[in-house]
Amino acid sequence: MTPTIVYLHGFRSSPQSTKATQLAKAIAALPAEQRPILHVPELPHRPSCAMAAISAIAGSVDPAQLAFVGSSLGGFYATCAAERHEARAVLINPAVRPWEDLQAHAGKQTNMYTGESFEVTGAHFAELRAMAVARISRPSRYLLLLQSGDEVLDYRKAIDCYAGAWQCVQGGGDHAFSGFGEQIPAILGFCALQRA
């Protein structure tokens, strides 16, 4: 069966982000018989709506062939979705407690790619807190990619949150994950594996 990968972008980002574009190009370059199905949804800014959009895609896929790849806030969503659908997930500098991490962004925000304006309110934070996973159920289903130079999120929180998961922690770097393209072969390899 053909694996399905769902890439989830971060806060104020979109399917046009650098990482999403790099992943799509890498998959398109694979031979047809090795090419996974890739979905890169444009996630609504409201967390509950974003999760509904993710579940609409994931609900029709065999969990053994499903993997999420999420960056920053998308990593938080990927964790929630992986637990809900019993799938694999690759997390790139993920937000662990976004209802706290995004407090500084309360108020009017603009999507960096689409120019769409939206308001971040207390309802956003409440929805994020309500969907949080207390503890990942099967750490072996997760691959965590971190860079210690992340200027937005404390990478050490992710190390603790995903204890027991496959972890690759690089010194330096940044929140965007410098050199992301070099990680794509490992990401695709992890996503293509049958669920244990």
Q: pLDDT tens, 104-155? A: 888 998 888 888 888 889 999 999 999 999 899 999 999 999 998 788 888 8
143 sits in which H/E element: strand 142-147
Dump pLDDT digits (tens) for 176-187.
Answer: 888 899 999 999
What domain count does the chain have?
A: 1
Q: Which domain holds residue 47?
A: 4-192
Residue type, 46: R
Q: DSSP letters along 98-119, please?
A: HHHHTGGG-EEEE-TTT--EEE
Which CATH number does the domain housing residue 52 bear?
3.40.50.1820
Number of H helices, E strands in the chain: 7, 8
Interval 13-61: pLDDT, tens: 889 899 999 999 999 999 988 899 999 999 999 999 999 999 999 988 8
pTM, 2 dp? 0.92
Q: In sequence order, what DSSP letters do the residues of 71-94 get, joined into one string?
A: ETHHHHHHHHHHHHHT-EEEEES-
Mean pLDDT along residues 87-110: 90
Question: Do residues 141 and 89 lie in contact, with contact meaning Cβ atoms separated by under 8 Å?
Answer: yes
Q: What is the CA radius of gyration of the chain?
A: 16
Q: Using CA atoms, how far apart are residues 185 and 178, in angstroms rounded to an integer? A: 15
Nearest alpha carbon to residue 47 among 10, 84, 4: 10
